[in-house]
Amino acid sequence: MTDCEVLALHRDMVKRASVTGTEADLADWVAEKLGEVGAEVTRIGNSVIARAGRGKRLMLDSHLDTVPLSQGWTKDPWGAEVIDGKVYGLGSNDAKASGAAMLAAFANVAQNGGPCEVVLALVEQEETTNIGTLNALHHLRSVGWVPDAAVVGEPTGLQIGVAQRGLLLLELVATGDVCHAARAKELGARNAILALAKELVKVESLDLGPDDPFLGSTTAQVTVLKSGDVHNRLPAEAIATMDVRTVPSLSHDELVALVQDQLECEVRVRSKRLEPYACPADDAIVLAALAAQPGAKAFGSATLSDQVHFHGIPCIKVGPGESVRSHTTDEFVLEEEVVAGARFYERLVQEFAKS
Helix axes 24-36, 96-112, angle to 10 degrees: 20
Shortest CA distance to 332 belongs to which of 76, 160, 129, 112? 76
Is the pLDDT assigned to residue 276 strictly greater than 90?
yes
What does the pLDDT read at residue 127? Answer: 96
290-335, pLDDT tens digit by residue?
A: 999 999 999 999 889 999 999 999 999 999 999 999 999 999 999 9
Mean pLDDT of 38-65: 96
CATH of residue 142: 3.40.630.10
Specify whether 302 is located in the same domain as 289.
yes
Residue 90 has pLDDT above 90, yes or no: yes
Residue 113 is predicted with a pLDDT of 85
Mean pLDDT of the chain: 97
Domain count across the chain: 2
Both 267 and 340 in one domain: the answer is no
Look up the CATH number of the domain holding residue 212: 3.30.70.360
Cis peptide before 248 (omega within 30 of 0): no
pLDDT of residue 142: 97
CB atoms under 10 Å from CB of 79, counted, come to 14
Q: Cβ contacts of residue 166 below 8 Å, gap of 6+?
A: 245, 246, 247, 252, 274, 275, 276, 277, 304, 308
Which of 231, 249, 274 is a domain's end point?
Answer: 274
pLDDT above 70 covers what percent of the chain?
A: 100
Of 248, 274, 300, which closes a domain? 274
Q: Per-residue pLDDT tens for 172-225?
A: 999 999 999 999 999 999 999 999 999 999 999 999 999 999 999 999 999 999
Neighbour count for residue 138 (Cβ, 10 Å): 11
Confidence of residue 246 (pLDDT cuts 50, 70, 90): very high
Is the confidence at residue 114, as pLDDT, over 90?
no
- Cα-only R_g, the chain: 24
Q: What share of the chain has pLDDT > 90, as a percent?
A: 98
Residue 300 is part of which domain span? 3-164+277-354
The residue among 151, 175, 155 whose CA lies nearest residue 268 is 175
122 and 63 housed in the same domain: yes
Tell me: do 34 and 75 sit in the same domain: yes
Q: What is the pTM of this model?
A: 0.92
Looking at 225, 250, 274, the residue that finishes a domain is 274
- pLDDT for res 303: 87
Q: Tell me the mean pLDDT in the region 96-112.
A: 97
Residues 51 and 148 in one domain: yes
- Where are any strands of DSSP class E within 79-148? 82-83, 86-88, 117-123
Segment 15-41 mean pLDDT: 96
The arithmetic mean of pLDDT across residues 46-57, rounded, is: 96
Say if residue 33 is in the same domain as residue 148: yes
What are the tens digits of pLDDT across the range 117-144? 999 999 999 999 999 999 999 999 999 9
Task: Let me know whether 267 and 306 are in one domain.
Answer: no
Backbone angles phi, psi at 7, to 5 degrees: -65, -35
